[in-house]
Amino acid sequence: MVRNKLMLAAAILSGGAFASPAAAQNEQFIPILSYRTGAYAVNGVPYANGVADYYNLVNERDGGINGVKLLVEECETGYATDKGVECYERLKGKGPTGAAFINPLSTGITFALTEKTATDKIPIITMGYGRADSKNGAVFSYNFPLLGTYWSAADIAIQHVAKEVGGFDKLKGKKISLVYHDSPYGKEPIPMLQVLAQKHGFEFAPIPVTHPGVEQKSQWLAIRQNRPDYVLLWGWGVMNGTAVKEAAAVAYPRDRMIGVWWSGAEPDVTPAGDQATGYKALMLQHGAGKFPVHADLEKYVYAKGKGASEPGKVGEVLYNRGMTNAMLGVEAIRKAQEKFGKKPLTGEQVRWGLENLDLSDVRLKELGFEGMLKPIKISCSDHEGAREGRVQQWDGKGWKIISDWYTANLSNTEPLVDEISAKYAADKKIQPRDCSKES
Amino acid sequence: MLYREAGQFRTTYAEDMAIFPIRQDRIALAILLGIAFIGVPLLADFDIWPFGSDYLLRAILLPFLILALAAIGVNILVGYCGQISLGSGAFMAIGAYSAYKLGTGVHIPLASLDFAISIPPLPVLLAILLGGLTAALAGILFGIPSLRIKGLYLAVATLAAQFFFDWVFLRVSWFTNYAPSGSVNAPTLDFFGLNVGTPIERYMLCLIFVTVFAVLAKNLVRGNLGRQWMAIRDMDIAAELIGIRPLYAKLTAFAVSSFIIGVAGALWAFVYLGSWEPLAFSIDRSLQLLFMVIIGGLGSIMGSFVGAAFILILPIMLNLIPTQLGVPLSTETITHLEFIIFGSLICYLLIKEPHGFARLISIGKEKLRLWPFPY
């Protein structure tokens, strides 16, 4: 008996695990790497819900992209790099043509996958995160840090600080600290901030917080001693809420803290309660709120009971970001279909779609993203496309937009992008593409 | 009948001392090695499912081989010599980062002497082995406290190594060649002009490493040194009384173990991840390796393999089954279920068989010897 049971279990294990996918032929496979568990789950869950809901919407409302249905599968990474690599290997070959693109949702996983995706010819979309030097599409053929890199974010943050203190010339002698998650994610902005510190003459102090970020007492004691004029926060998950609470504990004014766009969502401030009032954060263009696309979601997805999120959480910052992320990928596939035909496409073809992606105001309005995003145009040499952001402030109940649009200054970021990406190309013996010859 | 040893006579000392004195064991091992060395590449080459897919090679076999190698290292220290270590992740990191430094070229400017030490980039194979050597040196250094403290206290001392090296590789940017994000890229894997790029080539590379080190480790633990380690593990005072020098025995155990763990770390970084950050070698990795050894069987080379397979592959399987059976479960439910099932399985296993899988396998072997006439 026992042996039979064991045999059965073994059969399920071996057969079930490697069963070749029996997919319909007219489907485009899109993997979702997400984390709904672990230390970063509070932020990972709304994001993953937004992604899942938007793909669902495209299927329910339009029947897919020009008749090609989207086939999605989620894989839990728990923000661990090795699990992310495992998920990528598991999902990259599924569907009739393999994965269209991949969103790792972790800077660490992005680093580990950068070389693999280039070999496998699968675009890696890192919207608002990932490696900042991958803006240079000539070297990083398959990386797409759409809508903004951390270097753009750092530049925008300093622009806002300059505006608050009354001009760039007033930055001289000011003290700006960066409280960051001690991982590639948190370290990315440091070289840019060092360049800016040199240029504008402010004192810059990076203050690391170890993973996952719940222990920051000593860091904030150092801030209390040093009294920087501004604190930039580069945190994620539980680290953000903790930082806001610790700032309150050492009486550091919250309105002089500016979080990056990953530190500016509802789960980052609600745990701190009233203590979070006044806290500011950058916006990756969009913020919280509902737009025409949300009405479609309500009608085609939530009315049918197919929504991934609690209805009350639709329209939160990270939910909207997940949706935006999914939308950009879908539009890239749509663009690529213009050239390669209305059929499931390979990763290489979708990359063409991404490099020729051009979302005008008109197109954004058609998509229901009017007011949420600004036009974005990607090219072979510029994989970032747009580098704009605003600043929002938490008033205790919701996020209020308190600034105009800032555009990151290319003359600040570009030399660094060129330098670091050239070094990467030399290390990896990559011959940069000649973008003038790409069609 | 299957496992009858009658008629297998040993007539020389060499035969008596062979690693596998029983013919059936030798045949089984030959078949296993044949499958690993010839079967898998052939199946992959002919694209025979599931070996044709990158997934099995790159996401399961590759990490399995590398972690099994690391588990052998941990087993030498914990299983054979009885020195509990929670610093295995740190030694993996030392192997990885020093191999990275040696593989990309070392440059130490000595400003005060107006002189710089420069080593040109070494061949990757050499860098990996030297990475292991560096880890061995660090292992000896952190093994010194083991002369005075034992058991849990030593575990805490090695934990210090773990946190210390986590900190070093995060903070000292010299180790990461001043990479702005602190994440480093392994140099391309060139061996004697041959690029090891495809999954099957990477698999073969790791397989060769694992086989060589497993054989070496097996011989080591059977020999003089291994017996010293085991004597220290079983009762250090008695060992000392019969003339074993604890200093020598303990430090060699730390050195050999760290060397193997260091090589595994370099392989993990160079061959599996390709690009990594200190978090890849965090305390979680140390605990994972320790669990592998405990589940697999303390003091057993084979147990290291079985333990690695259990700890690494079972969660992946538990994760895959609901999807494959078409059960609509959300990923977080699956992950939580995975934790519950995995945890209960470990508890059950350790209650039923505290000596791990290795003991279960040897019981099976005993039964096969008597089969079909049990008593």
Could you report the predicted ipTM of this complex, rounded to two decimals?
0.85
Q: What is the pLDDT of residue A220?
A: 93
Query: Tokens 């990932």 appear where?
Result: A130
Compute the mean pLDDT over every residue in chain B, rounded to the nearest whole number.
89
Please tell me the distance from the alpha carbon of residue A170 to that of residue A178, in angstroms, as a whole number.
19
Please indicate whether, in this complex, the C-beta atoms of A12 and B279 are within 8 angstroms of each other. no
Averaged over A177-200, what is the pLDDT?
91
Angle between helices A317-340 and A347-355 (to 10 degrees): 100
The residue of chain B with its CA nearest to that of A188 is B181
Q: How confident is the model at residue A23 (pLDDT cuts 50, 70, 90)?
A: very low
SS (H, E, C) A138-183: CCCCCEECCCCCHHHHHHHHHHHHHHHHCCHHHHCCCEEEEEEECC
Lowest mean pLDDT segment, chosen from A75-84, B18-27, B233-242, B323-332:
B323-332
SS (H, E, C) chain B: CCCCCCCCCCCCHHHHCCCCCCHHHHHHHHHHHHHHHHHHHHHHHCCCCCCCCHHHHHHHHHHHHHHHHHHHHHHHHHHHCCCCCCCHHHHHHHHHHHHHHHHHCEEEEEHHHCEEEEECCCCHHHHHHHHHHHHHHHHHHHHHHHHCCCHHHHHHHHHHHHHHHHHHHHHCHHHHCCCCCCCEECCCCEECCEECCCHHHHHHHHHHHHHHHHHHHHHHHHCHHHHHHHHHHHCHHHHHHCCCCHHHHHHHHHHHHHHHHHHHHHHHHHHHHCEECHHHHCHHHHHHHHHHHHHHCCCCHHHHHHHHHHHHHHHHHHHHHHHHHCCCCCHHHHHHHHHHHHHHHHHHHHHHCCCHHHHHHHHHHHHHHHCCCCC
Q: What is the pLDDT of residue A93?
A: 87
Please tell me the distance from the alpha carbon of residue A359 to that of residue A267, in angstroms, as a whole number.
30
Q: Do A203 and A231 contact (CB within 8 A), yes or no?
A: no
Q: Do B118 and B105 contact (CB within 8 A), yes or no?
A: yes
Q: Do A34 and A77 contact (CB within 8 A), yes or no?
A: yes
Q: How confident is the model at residue A12 (pLDDT cuts 50, 70, 90)?
A: very low
CA atoms within 13 A on the CB side of A143: 28
pTM of the model: 0.89
Q: How confident is the model at residue A16 (pLDDT cuts 50, 70, 90)?
A: very low
Q: Mind telling me how many Å the CA of B317 is from chain A's nearest CA?
A: 6
Query: Tokens 């025409």 appear where?
Result: A292
Q: What is the pLDDT of residues B111-123, one digit of tens each?
A: 777 788 888 888 8
Identify any residues that bridge with B282 across adjacent strands, giving them in sequence order: none
Please tell me the distance from the alpha carbon of residue B187 to that of residue B199, in angstroms, as a whole number.
17
- Residue A4 reports pLDDT greater than 70: no
% of chain A exceeding 90 in pLDDT: 65
The residue of chain B with its CA nearest to that of A191 is B180
Interchain CB contact of A83 with B (< 8 Å): no
Q: Name chain B contacts of A427, Cβ cutoff 8 Å.
A: 104, 185, 187
Please indicate whether, in this complex, the C-beta atoms of A188 and B181 are within 8 angstroms of each other. yes
% of chain B exceeding 90 in pLDDT: 50
Q: How confident is the model at residue A8 (pLDDT cuts 50, 70, 90)?
A: very low
* B182, B188, B192, B195: CA torsion to nearest 10: 160
More confident residue, A21 or B286: B286
Q: What is the pLDDT of residue A19?
A: 43
Q: Mind telling me how many Å the CA of A309 is from chain B's nearest CA?
A: 12
Q: How many C-beta atoms surround the C-beta of residue B41 within 10 A? A: 17
Q: Mind telling me how many Å the CA of B316 is from chain A's nearest CA?
A: 9
Q: Name chain B contacts of A111, Cβ cutoff 8 Å.
A: 181, 183, 185, 275-277
Identify any residues that bridge with A143 across adjacent strands, giving them in sequence order: A124
- Segment 98-117 of chain A within 8 Å of chain B by CB: 107-108, 111-112, 114-116
Q: What is the pLDDT of residues A200-253, one digit of tens each?
A: 999 999 999 988 888 999 999 999 998 999 999 999 989 999 999 999 999 999
- Residue B146 reports pLDDT greater than 90: no
Q: What is the pLDDT of residues A243-280, one digit of tens each?
A: 999 999 999 999 999 999 999 999 999 988 899 999 99
Interface residues of chain B, partner chain A, Cβ below 8 Å: 49-50, 53-56, 58-59, 63, 104, 170, 180-183, 185, 187-188, 197, 272-277, 279-280, 282, 316-317, 319-321, 323-325, 330-332, 334-336
Please indicate whether, in this complex, the C-beta atoms of B320 and A73 are within 8 angstroms of each other. no
Q: What is the pLDDT of residue A24?
A: 58
Q: What is the pLDDT of residue A439?
A: 62
Q: What is the pLDDT of residue B95?
A: 96
Q: Name chain A contacts of B182, Cβ cutoff 8 Å.
A: 183-184, 187
- Residue B101 reports pLDDT greater than 50: yes
Please indicate whether, in this complex, the C-beta atoms of A111 and B183 are within 8 angstroms of each other. yes
